[in-house]
């Protein structure tokens, strides 16, 4: 097993390119023990970036993550998100305090605006900066922002934006047309959510053919695709230990030029600008 490659944030800090997502986790008390165990195994395997949000399971995901990282907080690069309805100046601060309480921690490593809000972005950015100055968050960023919205962030002084979390996988490559190049030019990494298209890519015939050659699964090939770039962090979800190990092994897959050409043929990259996709 090789070390997971690292992605550089604008601050210069390095984080693992393969992390752990928690969307739809924390919803069932019956599954909680398995979810906690899965996240802890991921930490053991080097997947030390964990992403959650106040919206997930109405705070239940944050509570579950808080249990999983208890006693191990310093190992974790912890990411959460403020719900856009809460993203006013005072609302952002209050939401962050609630998230910290559920996560049982005194700081977030990265705090994101979950998607563009009706509240002025300048107010949200100001609140982020105040939280940063107070030591409540270490970095801040956004999620589901396209190029125009990223420009808006910069216009209000948001040069410290550390990441943009968006939908990105083999069937959702639209960001490659302009958003990925924009982010690269500004030194701001992408965080890819739903990198296996909520499991649907696990049965694609082209992925199956490539997977056989690598003694891997189609889902692992889909993950390996998102890890090709040096400015993308991918955050698959896993609620079972076997799935965690499978995700981790995807980081060791080296796709060949022929593999990449086959993937481009099966999942063509975009030729024009389209609307930013979201789930």
The whole-number average pLDDT for the span 1-28 is 95
For residue 256, tell me if it sits in a domain: yes
Closest CA to 80 of 129, 114, 47, 29: 114
DSSP string, 13-41: -EEESB-BB-TT-SS-HHHHHHHHHHHHH
Asked about 56 being catalytic, the answer comes back as yes
For residue 154, tell me if it sits in a domain: yes
For residue 97, tell me if it sits in a domain: yes
Distances (CA, A) of 152 to 57, 122, 146, 248, 278: 30, 9, 10, 36, 19
Cβ atoms 15, 54 nearer than 8 A: no
For residue 273, tell me if it sits in a domain: no
Cβ atoms 168, 231 nearer than 8 A: no
The Cα–Cα gap between 245 and 219 comes to 12
Q: How confident is the model at residue 76 (pLDDT cuts 50, 70, 90)?
A: very high
The Cα–Cα gap between 211 and 193 comes to 21
Could you tell me the pTM of the whole model?
Answer: 0.96
As given in the structure block, the two tokens for residue 265 are 């043929």
For residue 55, tell me if it sits in a domain: yes
**Is the predicted pLDDT of residue 203 greater than 80, yes or no?**
yes
The whole-chain average pLDDT of the chain stands at: 96
For residue 274, tell me if it sits in a domain: no
Q: What is the pLDDT of residues 89-118, one digit of tens each?
A: 999 999 999 999 999 999 999 999 999 999
As given in the structure block, the two tokens for residue 119 are 């509240």
**What is the domain count for the chain?**
1
For residue 225, tell me if it sits in a domain: yes
CATH number for position 137:
3.20.20.100
The whole-number average pLDDT for the span 224-246 is 97
**φ, ψ of residue 140 in degrees (nearest 5):** -135, 160
For residue 108, tell me if it sits in a domain: yes
Marked catalytic residue, from 56, 111, 168, 193: 56
Range of the domain at 143: 6-266
């Amino acid at each position: 097993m090789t070390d997971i490659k690292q992605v550089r944030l604008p601050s210069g800090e390095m984080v693992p390119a393969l992390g752990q997502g928690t969307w739809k986790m924390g919803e069932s008390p019956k599954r909680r023990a398995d979810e906690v165990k899965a996240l802890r195994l991921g930490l053991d395997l080097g997947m030390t970036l964990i992403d959650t949000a106040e919206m997930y399971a109405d705070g239940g995901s944050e509570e579950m993550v808080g249990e999983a990282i208890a006693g191990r907080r310093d190992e974790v690069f912890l990411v959460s998100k403020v719900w856009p309805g809460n993203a006013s100046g005072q609302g952002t601060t209050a939401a962050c305090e609630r998230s910290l309480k559920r996560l049982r921690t005194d700081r977030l490593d990265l705090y994101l605006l979950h998607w563009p809000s009706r509240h002025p972005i300048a107010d949200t950015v100001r609140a982020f900066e105040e939280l940063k100055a107070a030591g409540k968050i270490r970095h801040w960023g956004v999620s589901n922002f396209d190029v125009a919205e990223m420009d808006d962030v910069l216009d209000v002084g948001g040069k410290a934006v550390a990441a943009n979390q968006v939908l990105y996988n083999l069937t959702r490559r639209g960001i490659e047309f302009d958003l990925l190049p924009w982010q690269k030019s500004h030194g701001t990494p992408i965080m890819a959510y739903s990198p296996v298209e909520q499991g649907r890519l696990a049965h694609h015939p082209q992925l199956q053919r490539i997977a056989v050659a690598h003694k891997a699964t189609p889902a692992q090939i889909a993950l390996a695709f998102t890890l090709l770039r040096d400015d993308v962090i991918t955050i698959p979800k896993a609620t079972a230990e076997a799935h965690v190990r499978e995700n981790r092994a995807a980081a060791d897959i080296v796709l060949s030029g022929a593999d990449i050409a086959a993937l481009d043929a099966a999942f063509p990259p975009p030729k024009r600008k389209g609307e930013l996709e979201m789930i």
